[in-house]
Structure 1
Amino acid sequence: MSLILPRDRRSFLKQSAAVVAASSCLPIGIGSAAAEKTSSSESLVKVLYDSLKEEQRSKMCYDWNHIDPQRGLLRSRVSANWMINEQEVNSDFYTADQKDLIRKVFEGILDPQWISKFDQQLDDDCGGFGEEQSIAIFGKPGDDKFELVLTGRHMTLRCDGDSAEHVAFGGPIFYGHAPTGGDEEADHAGNVFWNQALAANNVYQMLDGKQRKAAQVAKTTGEQKVGFQGNDGRFTGIPVTELSADQKAEMQVMLKKLVEPFRQSDQQEALACLKSQGGLDACHLSFFTDNDLGKDEVWDNWRLEGPSFVWHYRGAPHVHVWVNVADSPTVSLNV
């Protein structure tokens, strides 16, 4: 049953909150991650969808498996800098109420402590949330399959309601930051995602000489090459199985840093996908030596990769991070 859209903004947002509150009355325990999704951003996607006029839907709502003639399966596309359609979030195309809902969906798919950091990234890279950003909704919210995709400069994020099977984060995602506008210094001052690289370099510092030689790779893998290789893939770097117990413990610290910007349900989903393929022991860790800003051997470009797990971090000249995680290497990539 469709919601009846209230005329005034206060009633509209009150109704949105009521939908979330009602949906959150779900049992805690098994399936709590899915319950969290159902009770938060996904509920607001439905409220947003129900508020759209037909002329709006015709320009930013698509069938689940919509194929764009130039860009392929549009729902699963990922890019470092793109608009999924021409309808900018911060434009007259959306009402003030709808903009508020889009913002709340965005906040809901992030860890609360990371909202301000993503806002800093957006301020630096495109002038703030909603500027040079667009959304698309695939499928019909409330049905079995639907997903909202948020795109812009240094951002491809998803809110999928567990509709996209086998994948974490609703599909491949991208995040990045260029606080200086372009090339960065070796310390990456002001970059909100540099702490992830420091966590990876903490692992490197624990490696002995032989391990470091195995982990170093002379040429950075192309950042868009984040499709899955499967169990028989030709991975670069050092196998995690060759690390000691204390080094593997530091790898777990690093992994936590990678997933922490996102809501708990997406974190759990990503870790479950990794576990299904053998955990970190199924992965290789590479440090690329060809773009070492400052020549300090604090590696700016690195990659953690397993059969169906890719976290590619390119820190030179500024940060680009490509993420593709699934429980099966059969999932294809659209870049």
Structure 2
Amino acid sequence: MAANSNRHTVNCPDCTTDISRRSFLRTAAAGGLAGSLATLTPRLHAAPTSSSPAETAVGEFYASLSDSQKAKICFPFNHKLQQKISANWHVTDPVIGDDFYSDSQRAIIDQIVKGLTSEEGYERLIRQMEEDDGGLNFYSCALFGDPQQGKFEWELTGRHLTMRADGNSVDKAAFGGPIVYGHGESDPSDNIYHYQTRQANKVFQALDPQQAKLALQDNAPRETNVQLRGSDAPFAGISGSALSDDQKQLVTETLQVLLAPYRQADIAEVMAILEQIGGVDALHMAFYKQGDLNSDKTWDIWRIEGPRFVWHFRGAPHVHAYINISA
């Protein structure tokens, strides 16, 4: 018997904004850009496959579902529900702790999550879910398509989380499409993702005054404004091409820190996409005066963006991060 997991409501008035995944994936043609990834040089076509551990577990999960379960949580590939992105939503009505799922199915769901994350990332994610909404049992999942027949995507949603396993069914999209993570703790000393802000601010601290003037902006764009805009779009902040080699290395180290919670196959695909668009030279980094927690000039809202790459981190009043990376 599952633990009591009746859906409960968490007051999070700034977590309700959502946008369509279709607008996330709207792209323009990328131009030729030069750059390098320093120490990161993965295979150009690296990506998860249908036989990756998470996707293998998705196949096991699908095979375990009864017809009545499939009627509730399974949909055609590219169904409209697959298009929605939000920092706080449930893609299907049953939550994982409900009696709707068996103990063995909950164990498979846990294996999928483990397969999508590094060891450290899994531990951090479990803590986030526990603190934000009572644990994995209070999140929900859906399966789009049929992993036994062709294209598919498994999706996990809930407060401060959207993550996917697709075996590269969504072509050239890192993480299977846009993802969201966050944490509801507002105090930076307690927020489990504030370490990413500290790392990003190492780049800012390494800038000279003229560079810092370019990088620091007054007001941040909407956190959901992360559609891919192509190489002709104007990007806020300082261009990677304007950085010294040491500063570029700090950007590379920051990307490594940001990607560390995820599985190696997803990291490799992200870096392959970045290499295709021109590497660090193709990225811009912007930091925002808005939302400076504790008024300490450790900029809590920041953004890394390029033609096919957006990582928007809103650390105030608490963390919402939206990621969209696609070739």
Do the structures match in fold with TM over 0.5? yes
For each residue in 1:190-220, what CA deviation from the matched residue of structure 2 results, as whole angstroms up to 9, or x when unmatched?
Answer: 2221111111100000001000000011111
Q: TM-score normalised to the size of structure 2?
A: 0.84
Relative to structure 1, is the Cα distance of residues 81 and 269 closer, same or farther in structure 2, using a 3 angstrom cutoff?
Answer: same
Measured after TM superposition, the shift of residue 76 of structure 1 is: 3.4
Q: Does 1:58 align with 2:71?
A: yes
Measured after TM superposition, the shift of residue 37 of structure 1 is: 5.8
**Aligned with 2:131 (options 108, 111, 124):** 124
Q: Counterparts in 2 of 1:18-29, with a 5 A limit?
A: none
Displaced runs of 4+ in structure 1, greater than 2 A? 29-37
Structure index of larger Rg: 1
Measured after TM superposition, the shift of residue 34 of structure 1 is: 4.7
Task: Name the CA distance, whole Å, in 1 between partners of 2:308 and 2:44.
Answer: 23
Q: Does 1:251 align with 2:251?
A: yes
Relative to structure 1, is the Cα distance of residues 31 and 97 closer, same or farther in structure 2, using a 3 angstrom cutoff?
Answer: farther
AA matched with 1:169? F
CA RMSD of aligned residues (A): 1.6
**Aligned with 2:184 (options 175, 178, 181):** 178
AA matched with 1:48? F
In structure 1, the residue matched to 2:121 is 114
Q: Counterparts in 2 of 1:69-218, with a 5 A limit?
A: 74-131=81-138, 133-179=139-185, 184-185=186-187, 188-218=188-218
Measured after TM superposition, the shift of residue 123 of structure 1 is: 1.0
Relative to structure 1, is the Cα distance of residues 208 and 239 closer, same or farther in structure 2, using a 3 angstrom cutoff?
Answer: same
AA matched with 2:57? L
Measured after TM superposition, the shift of residue 31 of structure 1 is: 9.6
Task: Name the CA distance, whole Å, in 1 between partners of 2:293 and 2:177.
Answer: 31
Contact 2:87 2:180 in 1 (8 A): yes
Task: Name the CA distance, whole Å, in 2 between partners of 1:295 and 1:178.
Answer: 20
SS in 2 for 1:38: coil
Q: Counterparts in 2 of 1:246-285, with a 5 A limit?
A: 246-285=246-285
In structure 2, the residue matched to 1:314 is 314
In structure 2, the residue matched to 1:39 is 52
Instruction: Count residues with an aligned counterpart.
Output: 286
Relative to structure 1, is the Cα distance of residues 129 and 216 closer, same or farther in structure 2, using a 3 angstrom cutoff?
Answer: same
AA matched with 2:212? R
SS in 1 for 2:174: coil
Task: Name the CA distance, whole Å, in 2 between partners of 1:46 and 1:295.
Answer: 49
Task: Name the CA distance, whole Å, in 1 between partners of 2:128 and 2:48.
Answer: 29
Task: Name the CA distance, whole Å, in 2 between partners of 1:92 and 1:202.
Answer: 47
Task: Name the CA distance, whole Å, in 2 between partners of 1:287 and 1:30.
Answer: 31
Identical-residue share of aligned pairs (%): 40
Measured after TM superposition, the shift of residue 297 of structure 1 is: 0.8
SS in 1 for 2:258: helix
Task: Name the CA distance, whole Å, in 1 between partners of 2:125 and 2:53.
Answer: 19
Bigger relative contact order (CA 8 A; separation at least 6): 2
Task: Name the CA distance, whole Å, in 2 between partners of 1:314 and 1:50.
Answer: 39
Task: Name the CA distance, whole Å, in 1 between partners of 2:242 and 2:48.
Answer: 38
Task: Name the CA distance, whole Å, in 2 between partners of 1:217 and 1:35.
Answer: 36
Measured after TM superposition, the shift of residue 39 of structure 1 is: 3.5
Contact 1:76 1:172 in 2 (8 A): no
AA matched with 1:104? Q
Task: Name the CA distance, whole Å, in 2 between partners of 1:211 and 1:315.
Answer: 23
SS in 2 for 1:78: strand
Measured after TM superposition, the shift of residue 105 of structure 1 is: 0.5
SS in 1 for 2:313: strand
Contact 1:203 1:250 in 2 (8 A): yes
Unaligned runs of 5+ in 2: 1-41
In structure 1, the residue matched to 2:12 is none
Q: Does 1:286 align with 2:293?
A: no
Contact 1:301 1:315 in 2 (8 A): yes
Contact 2:284 2:304 in 1 (8 A): yes
AA matched with 2:247? Q
